[in-house]
Amino acid sequence: MVAMKGVLSQTTPFFMAGIRLVPAGFLVLLVAWWLKREQPGGIKAWLWISIFALLDGAMFQGFLAAGLTRTGAGLGSVIIDSQPIAVALLSRWLFGEIIGFWGGIGLGFGVFGIALIGLPQEWFNSLFSAQSFSVTLNSLDLFNSGELLMLLASLSMAAGTVCIRYVSRYADPVVATGWHMVLGGIPLFFLSGIWESNQWNGIDLQGWLSLGYSTIFGSAIAYGIFFYLASKGNLTSLSSLTFLTPVFALSFGNLFFNEILTSWQWLGVSLTLVSIYFINQREMIEKQFNSFRSKFWDFSKRTMSKLS
């Protein structure tokens, strides 16, 4: 997301979104062909791939790119990376995946953690002064900029993540991922042709490298692996790993560029890691907690009987 935000000053949002999708889609299809994976066949397969392309391709990338022009990469990352909540709720409703008490706590920790990482530190410092925080909060018009677009992008991504379960019933998930990027990018190029101009004239070498990085690593590799795993495993547990996105960004920035993390950001990193553990180990934690509670009650009963 930081790479996308950096190149937006040189290009236009819908063109950038299309570039992220279409070339990456062809790369995934090339790998799928090399692996001899079966191409989609039948109306149901292409129908679900088209829905997948609309939700996770055109809508997610379109809302994301448009939202980034009106908000910062940090706040945008917080909103986007909160999509595991929507995935968890949809998975519970559609597939019966159990979130549970500990999974719910983990989701809450994750959202609070990425908020500490991505939101302005002044917001949290002002919590110690109610008057200062009230003035700052009232001066914000959250939905007058890009926050609503980023929220729509997050919901589109969540719907797309859930959609892959249906897609994989009729098509190979890797091949479907490639086609959904190609098909999802076409409307974005169409909108770019109608509403935008000078899409690539101002892009310098560093800008093209940023686009290439976003296309290859942020789309082709990340999408291919993510949706392959989403078609097989627990969606709630898998989507929770997106909480790690801002953690990696901060860690690499600190390691390679000597960027200093604030105390709030360190707390956010810690909470995010705890949230990943809680969500992915929620069943084991529940069993251990129930076992401890049972032993505690047995011990209490024995102690009370001896005292009486």
Q: Output the 3-class SS for the chain.
A: CHHHHHHCCCCCHHHHHHHHHHHHHHHHHHHHHHCCCCCCCCHHHHHHHHHHHHHHHHHHHHHHHHHHCCCCHHHHHHHHCCHHHHHHHHHHHHHCCCCHHHHHHHHHHHHHHHHHHHCCHHHHHHHHCHHHHHHHHHCCCHHHCCHHHHHHHHHHHHHHHHHHHHHCCCCCHHHHHHHHHHHHHHHHHHHHHHHCCCCCCCCCHHHHHHHHHHHHHHHHHHHHHHHHHHCCCCHHHHHHHHHHHHHHHHHHHHHHHCCCCCHHHHHHHHHHHHHHHHHHCHHHHHHHHHHHHHHHHHHHHHHHHHHC
pLDDT for 137 = 46
Judged against a pLDDT cut of 80, whether residue 287 lies above it is answered with yes
Domain membership flag for residue 180: yes
Domain membership flag for residue 278: yes
| Predicted model pTM | 0.72
Domain that holds residue 128: 2-295
Domain membership flag for residue 132: yes
Domain membership flag for residue 301: no
Domain membership flag for residue 306: no
Q: What is the mean pLDDT of the chain?
A: 79
Domain membership flag for residue 114: yes
Domain membership flag for residue 308: no
Q: How confident is the model at residue 239 (pLDDT cuts 50, 70, 90)?
A: low
Q: How confident is the model at residue 23 (pLDDT cuts 50, 70, 90)?
A: very high
pLDDT for 133 = 52
* Total of domains in the chain: 1
Domain membership flag for residue 229: yes
Q: Rounded to 5 degrees, what are φ and ψ at 261?
A: -90, 140
